[in-house]
Amino acid sequence: MSALLDIRGYTLDYTTRAGVLRVLDNVTLAIHAGEVLGLVGESGSGKSTLAYAIMRDLPANARERDGSIAFSGEELTRLDARRAQTLRGARIAMVFQDPSAALNPTLTLGTEIAETLIRHRRMTREAAWREGEALLRRVDIAHPEAMMNRYPHEASGGEKQRVAIAVAFACQPDLIIFDEPTTALDVITGARILDLFGRLRAETGVAALFISHDLALVSRIGDRVAVIERGRVVETEPAGTVFAAPKQPYTRALVAAVPRPNRRLVADAPRQAKLVQLADISVRYGRPRLFSRRETLGASEVNLDIHEKEILGIVGESGSGKSTLGRAITGLAPFEGEIRMRGRRITAASEMDSDYRRAVQIVFQHPDASLNPRQRVADILSRPLALFGGAKTEIPRLLDEVRLPAAFARRYPHQLSGGEKQRVAIARAFAAKPALVVCDEVTASLDVSVQAQVIELLLALRAEHGTAYAFITHDLNLVRQIAHRIAVMRRGRLVDLRDATTIAATDAHPYTRELIAACPVPVGEETSQ
């Protein structure tokens, strides 16, 4: 049977100021009607570039050197712009990683869906609006009529991704490309999105190219998995085979880096003295109005202790209060209640003096947002050293501790990879020689191999300095490997707290069990849950 999408020997370069960069090298792949092919690889391996080549949406500096991309027998590399626009949306659709960036912020969600239907299915505006409501109902939007009139900023991340999926399915395409569609979502919302795709796939028989760096997820949703390394496809096998018997060293390294709950990376240390004690901590967002109180509780009466040298995992879905709690501990969010730091009582962020701020540091999820793009790495690291009594001469040591060359001190953040930028953020936190570091989703934006490297680094720094971590994440598979205890947050409240080794016990809170069930595990490794 001929393939729906047939890529043979496809090679593509980018021309840059530094010269020609080969991005895709002799790529050969096929997707048949109704099939889901998973495509995995590290950041920069060429996954998304291949997707844009299929969609005929390459940048101006792209040069297609060789090979072909055929869709239903039609050669895509020879299409003119008009024909490419006809295919996009109608027969080939795409769902992007970040729906906030994919949806037009100036249009209502209904207008965005209706425009697709008017353009490709030649509907009237009234018919397109009615069909848009039906599509939103199909993707399990609770109130489709209201959602049609909302703007993207008025919808949650999960709702926006459902709208993006509705747009993708609107014209009943033959092929949908999913580019990291759950990476920006928490584990429960991501699991629901995948369940939705599974149902729609069964109903429509659509084929899909599912791009991700999450091998466990891809092994469960794909029929076959292709592994791409530095622009070359090095292995293509049935999903289960990739995990059971990976052939290539690169594939074996990726499989080894997948977090497995039953593979503990830390010893269960004896209980230490209490470092930080939280008593009835609440955080309110918004402000009272004249006739109403338009406030939201980010955290509500949370009682929690963090011990010396402990790794405390804090988990929950988006909006559960995880990051809010971390911001309260670091004084970045006003709070009610009481924090005790080694016995010292603090009731407001204004009472957190330099000694407290030295002892409690934070590493954020997105280093692009937390590192000043106008400062070199040396300047970024000089700031905490100046604040807390260090010297610039310590910068090479700090870089060495996070396994970066001393020469990186002269670089700007944009000259670093995502993992390298996160290492700089970690070095900045450790410049203060802290007792506690709040790690707020520090691996969420990293591919699986870089994530494993960052985790190994954090564990080495803890072993060297005796630092405690409050490790905030939605990845229960990961946190079960490294945490001593796990706190589970839901809707601002602490609903469960137990040792990491017993988090999956039958007497765990129902929400804890829901989180565990939503975490993808590789095919054949379900018993590790």
Could you report the per-residue pLDDT of 497-523, keeping only the tens digit for each?
999 999 999 899 999 999 998 887 766
| pLDDT tens string 424-436 | 999 999 999 999 9
CA distances from 242 to 259, 361, 448, 519 (A): 16, 40, 15, 19
Cα–Cα distance between 35 and 5 in angstroms, integer?
Answer: 10
Query: How much is the pLDDT for 59?
Result: 93
Q: What are the structural domains, with CATH classification, of the chain?
A: 1-91+173-254 (3.40.50.300), 98-170 (no CATH), 311-333+353-528 (3.40.50.300)
Tokens of 311: 């790794």
Over range 107-120, report the average pLDDT.
94
Token pair 């990476």 is found at 183
Query: How much is the pLDDT for 294?
Result: 58
In this predicted structure, which of 106-115, 180-189, 198-207 has the lowest mean pLDDT?
180-189
Query: How much is the pLDDT for 290?
Result: 55
Query: How much is the pLDDT for 165?
Result: 94
Cα–Cα distance between 507 and 453 in angstroms, integer?
Answer: 34
Cα–Cα distance between 423 and 421 in angstroms, integer?
Answer: 5
pLDDT band at 322 (very low <50, low <70, confident <90, very high): very high
Contacts of 437 (CB under 8 A, 6+ apart): 360, 361, 362, 363, 429, 430, 467, 468, 469, 470
Tokens of 230: 């530095």
**Quick check: 468 pLDDT over 60?**
yes
**Quick check: 527 pLDDT over 60?**
no
pLDDT band at 529 (very low <50, low <70, confident <90, very high): low
pLDDT band at 317 (very low <50, low <70, confident <90, very high): confident
| CA angle centred on 45, ends 76 and 406, rounded to 5° | 145
Question: What's the mean per-residue pLDDT of the chain?
Answer: 91
In this predicted structure, which of 35-39, 174-178, 218-222, 375-379 has the lowest mean pLDDT?
218-222
- Contact (Cβ atoms closer than 8 angstroms) between residue 437 and residue 469: yes
- State what percent of residues in the chain have pLDDT above 90: 73
Query: How much is the pLDDT for 481?
Result: 94
Over range 203-217, report the average pLDDT.
90
pLDDT band at 19 (very low <50, low <70, confident <90, very high): very high
- Contact (Cβ atoms closer than 8 angstroms) between residue 72 and residue 15: no
Query: How much is the pLDDT for 360?
Result: 97
Over range 325-330, report the average pLDDT.
95
- Contact (Cβ atoms closer than 8 angstroms) between residue 255 and residue 218: no
In this predicted structure, which of 357-361, 401-405, 474-478 has the lowest mean pLDDT?
474-478
**Quick check: 311 pLDDT over 90?**
yes
Cα–Cα distance between 8 and 66 in angstroms, integer?
Answer: 9
CA distances from 270 to 81, 304, 458, 484, 485 (A): 65, 18, 20, 10, 12
Cα–Cα distance between 362 and 309 in angstroms, integer?
Answer: 16
